[in-house]
Amino acid sequence: MTSQPIRIATRKSPLAMWQAEFVKAELEQAHPGIVVELVPMVTKGDIILDTPLAKVGGKGLFVKELEVAMLEGRADIAVHSMKDVPVEFPEGLGLVTICEREDPRDAFVSNKYNSIDELPQGAIVGTSSLRRQCQLRAQRPDLIVNDLRGNVNTRLRKLDDGEYDAIILACAGLKRLKMEDRIRSEIAPETSLPAVGQGAVGIECRLDDTRVRQLLDALNHQPTATRVLCERAMNNRLQGGCQVPIGSYALLEGDEIWLRALVGEPDGSKIVRAEIRGPIAQAEQLGTTLADQLLADGAKEILDRLYGNA
Ligand SMILES: NCc1[nH]cc(CCC(=O)O)c1CC(=O)O
């Protein structure tokens, strides 16, 4: 039975393929003799490229097909950027493993300038992330933020074609794709608080698949899992999706966890920030508590309006 291959459902983008290959290599190293196969698939999110993601239904578009494949037994696991994993899972599936985090920061990428501060008045910055747009415009209301979709290579090509003065990407994706040299500067969390789970890779499988779950155990990185679950607990309480600018970043300091988070208006005209510290054992509770604090401090009004409840 152990010779039965493990099939990884994956999107075909270079970053998704890198992540799937990474998990395959880690599994092979942890369990010599194991057979791991990739099952590349195209998702709706890969096809609809001309509409801002926030308008076409959000992150779920990238994972639905992979989840159906697992439920139908055509694949055993799916590897995700934690940033793109929705709050809820279909019945029978769940996130069982979180691998060690890469650099969680946003990256400033440009062919002309070294940092946000160097951008001239009215410069054009490409990003489709409301979180990045909100934080950029809060500091530099003069900047023009234009939509930028597509996988990492497509986005870099659009920058090179001269459509933008600069673009913002995740450091993690660029580092994984060996394109670190494109990073002009790493943006500090104080300037651009990362997305929930940014830089971490997570693995989803059928919850009743005990064989696969045991094999995946070796890949779990507990410090990363604690941080990401804390960030996700905060986000879940806010019912955060990618239609709203939410940033969040947890760090471990000794036996404490320090969580920072923000909710803002997409145009940067308002940002509500909060932070909390507490014992690592209460990571998820702390996330929920911080979300409640944000809501009480004004995030509720922002979210109600963005979700159309007000
Ligand atoms: N939304 C796409 C996406 N999902 C994960 C990453 C980067 C890698 C990561 O955060 O793990 C990216 C690209 C980007 O934001 O530049």
Do the two domains 4-99+199-219 and 104-185 of this chain adopt the same fold? Answer: yes
203 - beta bridge partners? 79, 97
User: Is the CB of 233 inside a 6 Å radius of any atom of ligand 1?
Assistant: no
Give residue for tokens 């909390």: 276
As a whole number of angstroms, the longest Cα–Cα distance in the chain is 63
Segment 276-282 long-range contacts (CB within 8 Å, at least 24 positions apart): 277/253, 279/255, 280/226, 280/252, 280/255, 280/256
**Mean pLDDT estimate for the chain:** 93
> How many A from CA of 99 to the centre of ligand 1?
15
What number is the average pLDDT over the span 126-131?
Answer: 95
261 neighbors 193 (Cβ within 8 angstroms): yes
Q: How far apart are CA 230 and CA 249, in angstroms?
A: 9
Q: How far apart are CA 57 and CA 164, in angstroms?
A: 26
The pLDDT assigned to 59 comes to: 58
Residue 290 vs residue 243, higher pLDDT: 290
Which atom of ligand 1 is nearest to 107's Cα? 16
Helices within 63-220 (DSSP H only): 64-71, 130-139, 152-160, 171-176, 210-216
Residue 240 vs residue 193, higher pLDDT: 193
Q: Does 304 participate in catalysis according to the annotation?
A: no
User: Is the CB of 83 inside a 6 Å radius of any atom of ligand 1?
Assistant: yes
Q: How far apart are CA 171 and CA 32, in angstroms?
A: 32
Which member of 50, 76, 84, 208 is catalytic? 84
Q: Which of 100, 152, 182, 203 to mutate to test the pocket of ligand 1 (most atoms within 8 A of CB)?
A: 152
User: Is the CB of 173 inside a 6 Å radius of any atom of ligand 1?
Assistant: yes
The model's pTM is 0.92
Return the CATH number of the domain spanning residue range 104-185.
Answer: 3.40.190.10
> How many A from CA of 82 to the centre of ligand 1?
9
45, two tokens: 């999110």
Q: How far apart are CA 79 and CA 13, in angstroms?
A: 12
Q: Which of 13, 81, 156, 159 to mutate to test the pocket of ligand 1 (most atoms within 8 A of CB)?
A: 81
Band (pLDDT 50/70/90 cuts) for residue 42 is: confident
Nearest alpha carbon to residue 233 among 282, 194, 270:
282
What does the CA dihedral 46, 50, 54, 56 come to, rounded to 10 degrees?
Answer: -70
Q: Which CATH superfamily is domain 4-99+199-219 in?
A: Periplasmic binding protein-like II (3.40.190.10)
Q: How far apart are CA 25 and CA 302, in angstroms?
A: 43
Q: Which residue ranges make up each domain of the chain?
A: 4-99+199-219, 104-185, 234-305
Neighbours of 145 (CB within 10 A): 24
User: What topology does CATH give the domain 234-305?
Assistant: Double Stranded RNA Binding Domain (3.30.160)
Q: What is the ipTM of this complex?
A: 0.94
| pLDDT tens digits for range 103-124 | 999 999 999 999 999 999 999 9
Q: How far apart are CA 94 and CA 39, in angstroms?
A: 19
